[in-house]
Amino acid sequence: MPSHLSNSISNSRSLERLGPFVFASFFSQADESANADDGSSPQEVETRPSTGQHFDSTIGDALRTSPVTSTSPTPHRIKRRTVLPLILFFATCLSTFWVGVTHWQPVLTLESLATAGGMDLVPIRRLILSYGEQGVIYMACVMAILLCHELGHFFVTLLYRVPASFPIFLPFPFNPIGTFGAVIGMHGMQADRRQIYDIGLAGPLAGLVIAVPVMVMGILTLDVSTPGSGDIQINCPLGTLWLIQWLRPDIDPQNGYLWLSHLNPYFVAGWVGFLITGLNMMPISQLDGGHVIYSLIGKKAHWVARITIVTAIAFMVYYLAPSLVLMTILLLLVGTDHPPTRNDRVPLGGFRIALGWLSLSIPFFCFPPFILRMI
C-alpha cells in the first residue's frame, strides 16, 4: 500500500535514489528573483542547495531541486508548469474512476476479463455501464480529498511567498486505491519556523475537512445485511471505529476489519483520506508531522523521528505486516532528520504550540496499522 509523504528533502543523495522526477519539471527557478530584505546587501549573495524541497505523495517519486542562488527568501516572480500537472490530474481521475468501477480490485478484474474474453472491450463497457456511478462517486471523493490536502499546502505557500509548484497527481490504476497520491514541490528552506509549521499543518487539516464528512456518509450507507465475500478485508483506524460505534452501533467490525464486499465508494474514499492524513502526520523527517514536531522542539525532533522509524520496523517484524515495508523504505531513503528552516528562532505562539501537539495525535485516530488482510 502507498504512503503519503509531505516533505522538504534534506539530503540530495536521498533524492537521487527516489526517482526520475525533478523539481524543474514542474517549477522553473529561472524566473525567480529576490530582494535582500533580510538585512544583507545585494552583494552578499548566498549560494546553497535548496534542500527544503517539499513533496506530498503516497508512494510518489521525489521532485528534486537544483542549487538556488538568492539574496532573499521572497521571490518576485514564479513560473509554474501547468500542462503536465493538468494531464496527470485528469489521468488520476480516470485511474480512480476505473478502480471504483472494479470495486477496488483492478488487477483481479483485469485477470477475470482476460480469462473470460481475451480483453474484449464489450465486457469492460458493460462493467463501466453497470458500476459507473460507483466509479464516479469514488473518483470525486478521493480527488476532492487529495486536492484539498495539496491546496492547503499550496495556498499557504502563496501567502508566505514561498516558491512552490502546482499540485501534481500520480495515477496508478493497478493498486486498490487508483493513485500514488499527489506531490507538491517547494523551496522549504525559504520558509522560517512558523511558516514551515503553517505550510505543513495546512494540508492535513484541509484534507480532513473533506475526508471526515465523506467517511460519515460512507458509514451511514454501509450495507452489511449479507455475509461478507471475497478474500480481502480492510483494517479500520481508531477514528473510523469510533464513528461506526456512534453512527451505526448495529455494525460490529471483526477485530477492526470490514469485508471489502460490504464497502461503498464513500467509505473507501474516506478510509483512503484517513490513511493519507494519518501517515502524513507521523513525526518523521519531511512528513507534515515532521514539519510540526521540528517547529515545536527543533533538533530534538530528529530523535523522535528515529525512534518512530525503529518502532515501525519492530512492528513490521513482530506482526509480519508487509504492507508497511514500502512506506518504511521510502522514509529511510528520504532520511529521518528535518533540515533547518530559514530562521528556527521565530516564535510560534501559544495557539500554534497547543494545536501542533494536538495534531500529532492524528496518526493514532486515522492510520490503520495493518491496512489490509488477505483471507
Q: Which helix (H) or strand (E) covers residue 82, if one does?
A: none
Contact 284, 309 (CB under 8 A): yes
Residue-wise pLDDT tens digits, 299-345: 999 999 899 888 888 887 777 666 667 667 767 776 788 889 999 99
Quote the crossing angle between the two packed helices 193-220 and 121-160, to the nearest 10°: 150
Q: Give the cell for residue 21.
A: 522526477
Contact 369, 282 (CB under 8 A): no
| Burial degree of 111 (CB within 10 A; 0-12, 13-18, 19+) | exposed
Spell out the domain ranges in the chain.
5-374
- Predicted local distance difference test score (pLDDT) of residue 26: 55
Helix, strand, coil fractions of the chain, as percent rounded to 5: 55, 10, 35
Those residues with Cβ within 8 angstroms of residue 169's Cβ, 6 or more apart along the chain or in another chain: 85, 88, 89, 91, 92, 143, 146, 179, 181, 182
Q: Which helix (H) or strand (E) covers residue 131, if one does?
A: helix 121-160
Residue-wise pLDDT tens digits, 21-72: 434 445 544 343 333 333 333 333 333 333 344 444 333 333 333 333 333 4
Q: What is the DSSP string of 4-29?
A: -EEEEE--HHHHHHH-S--GGGTEEG
- Predicted local distance difference test score (pLDDT) of residue 23: 44
Identify which of 145, 55, 15, 131 has the alpha carbon closest to the alpha carbon of residue 92.
Answer: 145
Q: What is the DSSP letter of 174?
A: T
Q: Give the cell for residue 158.
A: 502563496
Cα 10 off chain centre by: 18
**Residues of the chain scoring pLDDT < 70:** 1-78, 116-120, 320-324, 326-327, 330, 334
Those residues with Cβ within 8 angstroms of residue 268's Cβ, 6 or more apart along the chain or in another chain: 100, 104, 138, 177, 218, 234
Contact 256, 280 (CB under 8 A): no
Look up the pTM and report it.
Answer: 0.79
- Predicted local distance difference test score (pLDDT) of residue 354: 97
Q: What is the DSSP string of 190-247?
A: GS-HHHHHHHHHHHHHHHHHHHHHHHHHHHHT---SS---SSEEEEPPHHHHHHHHHH
- Predicted local distance difference test score (pLDDT) of residue 117: 61
- Predicted local distance difference test score (pLDDT) of residue 323: 62
